[in-house]
Amino acid sequence: MHGRRLATTDEIIAIASPDSDEPLERLRTWAESRGISFSAVGVGDDVGDVYTESRATLGVTIGGDGTFLEGIKTFAPRGIPLLGVNAGTLSFLARVEIEHLEDALDEVLRGRATVDSRQQIRIEATGLRATGINDVMIQHVPPENPIDRKVTQLEVFADGEYVGEFEGTGLAVSTPTGSTGISLSAEGPVHYPVNNHTLQIVPLHTHRMGIRPLVVAPTTELQIVTRGTASILVDGGRTHTVLSERSVIELTGADQRAHVVRTSYDDPFFTAITDKLGWGAREVDDPGPTELLDGPQPVTEREPNVVERARDIAIEAARSAGEPLRELHGQIESVEYKTDKSDIVTEADHQADHIIKTVVQNEFEDHNIVSEESEYVEGDSEYTWVIDPLDGTGNFAHGNPNYSVSIALLDDDVPVVGVVHVPETDEMFHAIAGEAAYEGEARIETTDRDALDESMLLSGYDPDGSFLAHYYEAARGVRRLGSAALNLCYLASGSADAVWEYDTHPWDVAAGVVIARTAGATVTDETGDPYTVEFDAEGRKGLLGSNGPLHPALLEHLEQEDAGLADVTDD
């Protein structure tokens, strides 16, 4: 989940530990002052009665790590991001202190927080099926008779391969988030948990010097077979059971990851380690690395100008908007009725538009905004954002992956920034006019073909099929993708040699025009004049884009096409 998406939060559900009345009331007051719906439940209570699936929800826990773990158990299955406020003592997970509560939430609402993807672990055994964020402990059950055996033997397999037999108190299978708990006490490694998707097996009090922790991929299928009775505790006992001898325990990384919100007000992970465990690996007041190094110091990076910053913000906004589009697109094929599909498409347009506009307004309060899906926002700047939150609506409605998010910035009606994101393939096309065009971090350029019969053409709206009829035989092929923004990006990247759009709107092509031109394309109207983005144009406004060398031949064919249509009209 992208942190910019949090800017559209319209519902907060809080889970609070006992004796949290004061911070809970502060949270309620903050939410209500911003028109955000607010509900609170106790630790362990069900949120089903207060949670609304269609809303942009933020989960908040107020308490220590125990309360935070309850929040994960509640919110992660619903895909709700979680912000932990520390009202306890020793806390590694809830790292926003109470005095910073409102400031941290303001940062979240401005879309400036980040969201960590945390690996969870899934466990299945006789009478037990659970998911945890920290660890699973498999331990020996103390005997009733003190002279009976006090150790357990566990056989471990990874993807069917025999790992070995562990004899001792037991094993801890932990996630990176849980690496600072039982596994750390058992001399296991500390994992930096941010976007770290691994699992580790840590022996507990083994009787062999050579036994060491084992790190595996989250997709690894672990099997642990008990040689005696064993107890299982998930996340410190939130789920637990006792198994008999020769029981099989199956563990692997959970598909559903937890979304943990982090702000600049959080205690950093390594600071928390140092402060709370007295780690001693570094002192907070130690000099930074550049103060310890000899030689030239790094040059301070300059602040990006408005256009560069706008490009970066547009990329973040497009990626954030792409998340709900991808989620809702996955529902299209399972919907039986056309009216229901229409509702999903409407919701997709609304969510993506809301995210982009909120992000832009948070960062550029004085800029104008034109969007296909919402009312014009008037500012007092020469800059205007032009947004199509879902270009290729027809494709989206039919489960076709060829749709995109298109965002452009105009400086006095001249397109200067273009960003087009393809959610289903995660392609991110972007450019600043006069510089270079990119897909991700790779620079893209148009082709240099100059022969029409060797070229691939893309067509947009072609109401009577005349473009297809005139060019199909003359070119190597004519294709129609259903997204004008994508057509121009594929021209820019060399996947096509030319693009024709019979009728365009500014939001359809503004971003793509910047990307294509910056990559070397020639973009004109049907008469050969440079294409301009206009908001008051009436009727047809054609667009012809090419790699440059093909443009004269394309214009000649268009003139012949127009002449043929005129002859038919005269007859």
Query: Residues with Cβ < 8 Å from 181, sequence gap 6 or more?
Result: 134, 135, 174, 236
Q: How far apart are the first and last CA of the chain?
A: 60
Query: Residues with Cβ < 8 Å from 35, sequence gap 6 or more?
Result: 10
**pLDDT tens-digit series, residues 470-492:** 777 777 778 888 899 999 999 99
Task: Determine which one of 10, 65, 266, 380 is catalytic.
Answer: 65
Token duo for residue 73: 């158990």
pLDDT at 570: 44
> Residue 244, class by beta-carbon neighbours within 10 Å (0-12 exposed, 13-18 middle, 19+ buried)?
exposed
Q: Is 65 among the catalytic positions?
A: yes
**pLDDT tens-digit series, residues 545-566:** 999 999 988 888 777 665 554 4
Confidence check: pLDDT of 294 > 60: no
Rounded CA separation 213/430 (Å): 44
Q: Is the pTM of this model over 0.75?
A: yes
pLDDT band at 151 (very low <50, low <70, confident <90, very high): confident
pLDDT at 25: 95
Question: Which is more confidently placed, 148 or 205?
Answer: 205
pLDDT at 493: 96
Strand residue runs (E) in 169-287? 170-174, 199-204, 214-216, 222-226, 230-234, 239-243, 248-253, 258-262
Rounded CA separation 407/425 (Å): 18
**For 268-296, what is the mean pLDDT?**
60
* Annotated binding-site ranges for Mg(2+): 372, 388, 390-391, 508
Rounded CA separation 442/419 (Å): 14
* Annotated binding-site ranges: 65-66, 134-135, 150, 372, 388, 390-391, 508
Query: Residues with Cβ < 8 Å from 431, sequence gap 6 or more?
Result: 311, 417, 418, 437, 438, 492, 514, 515, 518, 519
* Annotated binding-site ranges for NAD(+): 65-66, 134-135, 150
DSSP state of 555: H
- Tell me how crowded residue 556 is: count the other CB atoms within 10 A of its CB: 11
Q: Which domains does the chain have, with CATH numbers?
A: 3-116+260-277 (3.40.50.10330), 121-253 (2.60.200.30), 306-567 (3.30.540.10)
Closest CA to 344 of 325, 358, 362, 359: 325
Asked if residue 179 lies in contact with residue 190, where contact means CB atoms within 8 angstroms, the answer is yes
